[in-house]
Amino acid sequence: MHHGPTQLLQILLSESVYLIWVLRCERVIQEKIITERKISTRWHHAINERLTINEVTTTKLIRNRKYTELIKGTWELAIKKTRGTLAHQPHQSEVLVGRIA
């Protein structure tokens, strides 16, 4: 089974929909003007944050081989395809946030 890619899709969809909702509220209620660059920056931040949460859960809270493999399978290909612009490789404690310009 391909649990990792399925989980990644769920993460990307849920984070994206939540960000859309937050941005809409900011635009409608607070009357903010939000640029494409700002949207992109906030999306990258949200995904990097989720990657960091998954890594901390794997390395600090749930030290289970099966769970670790699931998290590795979830993020490994995404990190490779984005040429490392997602936060970092699993099992490191530092975070380097970036994106392709």
Residue pair 95/87 in contact (Cβ under 8 Å)? The answer is yes
State pLDDT tens for residues 5-51: 888 899 999 999 999 999 999 999 999 999 999 999 999 999 989 98
Q: What is the pLDDT of residue 83?
A: 65
Q: What is the pLDDT of residue 31?
A: 93
d(CA 65, CA 88): 20
Mean pLDDT, the chain, whole residue set? 80
List the chain domain ranges.
Answer: 3-81
Q: Is the pLDDT of residue 88 over 70?
A: no
Q: Is the pTM higher than 0.75?
A: no
Residue pair 85/98 in contact (Cβ under 8 Å)? The answer is yes
Q: Is the pLDDT of residue 92 over 80?
A: no
Q: Assign residue 96 a region: left if phi > 0, alpha if psi is -120 to 50, beta otherwise? A: beta
